[in-house]
Structure 1
Amino acid sequence: MIAIAVTGHLDLTEASVPLVRDALREVLRPFAGDEGGLTGVSCIAQGADSLFAEVVLELGGRLVVVVPARDYRQEQVEPEHAVVFDRLAEAADEVLVLDHPSANRAAYEDANRVLLGRAERLVAVWNGEPPSGKGGGTADAVSEARAAGLPVDVVWPTGAARRG
């Protein structure tokens, strides 16, 4: 069995979604046949995190969800993502809700630490841009994973883009 965590951009363009989904499938498929199977570890945020979780489940893997704060579902999940978030949380084998009262920089940084602590590998849906300085973002998680010696698979297929 192998546990793989995800980090990635929330703001993928609509046209990027199928490209990223296909790329995630290609990266994860070889691990789905591992002894004991694949465990995906995700915060199931909109964008990359949820696409990863969906592919893990599609490949027959188990899902571990890390929720950064107690108010995360109510305060941070956009209405258009709520159905997907709830469906993935329900499908998860385990849901860890971190003991932060609200989703803030410390909560996201802790969520990254928990994700990386539960994983043997990281998949990063990442365009390669440096950290924003806000903390707890995709580039920060990649840096932490590399510093910890975790293998990192960067997924950014040709044609992928962020909104805005």
Structure 2
Amino acid sequence: MRIGITGHMHLTAATVDLVRSALLAELERFDPAALTGVSCLAEGADAIFAQAVLDTGGRLEAILPARDYRDTRAGPGHRPVLDSLTARAASVNYIAETSSVQAYAAANDAMLASIDLLFAVWDGVPSPKPGGTADAVAAARARGVPTQVIWPEGAQRG
């Protein structure tokens, strides 16, 4: 089973714990030996999901928008998490050499094209700008990718 992730980046500390628990509970339904998580490793939901996949014994595949993503787009607080996850990933694929809106869209498209199921850590609110979580959910549904929304009670954006 190949499961991808989309979700909000800015979550409250309490929401991080709620989302982590919800993702772990969902992932426990799958045989870890047959589980591959596919993530762009962005801060927030993507990174929480990636760590949960590894914690359950699954395989992690990273699809990063560009080779310069870590140094130009990942915040200083996220870089150690990103480094740890990429080091533990079974594969890391880069879509472009330099980060751009097009590279982010292409990374999301590559993730959606490679999965059987999408987890969406989403509060149900439309994206305020192109490329947000709502747009990823709409794209998955348009492709016929089954999508499971995960937004635990009490969750809030940060």
- The TM-score normalised by the length of structure 2 is 0.96
SS in 2 for 1:98: strand
Q: Distance in 2 between matches of 1:45 and 1:101?
A: 16
Q: Distance in 2 between matches of 1:112 and 1:118?
A: 10
**How many Å apart are 1:50 and its aligned residue?**
0.6
- The TM-score normalised by the length of structure 1 is 0.92
Name the structure 2 match of 1:152: 147
**Among 124, 131, 137, which residue is 2:132 paired with?**
137
SS in 2 for 1:153: strand
- Cα deviation, 1:115-157, whole Å, max 9, x if unaligned, reads 101101100000001122x322211110011011111010000
Name the structure 1 match of 2:10: 11
**How many Å apart are 1:30 and its aligned residue?**
0.7
Greater shift in the superposed pair: 108-117 or 87-96: 108-117
**How many Å apart are 1:48 and its aligned residue?**
0.3
Instruction: Note the 1:16-95 alignment, pairs <5 A.
Output: 16-31=15-30, 33=31, 36-95=33-92
- The one-letter code of the counterpart of 2:135 is D
The list of structure 1 runs, each at least 4 consecutive aligned residues, that deviate by more than 4 angstroms after superposition, is none
- The one-letter code of the counterpart of 1:64 is E
The answer as to 2:101 corresponding to 1:105 is: yes
Q: Distance in 1 between matches of 2:104 and 2:7?
A: 13
Q: Is the 8 A contact 1:121 1:150 kept in 2?
A: yes
The structure-2 alpha-carbon separation of the partners of 1:141 and 1:57, relative to structure 1 and needing over 3 Å to count, comes to same
Percent identical pairs in the alignment equals 49
How many residues matched? 158
Q: Distance in 1 between matches of 2:60 and 2:130?
A: 25
Q: Is the 8 A contact 1:20 1:156 kept in 2?
A: yes
- The one-letter code of the counterpart of 1:146 is R
Q: Distance in 2 between matches of 1:146 and 1:128?
A: 14
**How many Å apart are 1:100 and its aligned residue?**
4.4
Q: Is the 8 A contact 1:145 1:151 kept in 2?
A: yes
Gapped regions of structure 1 (runs ≥ 5): none
**How many Å apart are 1:28 and its aligned residue?**
1.4
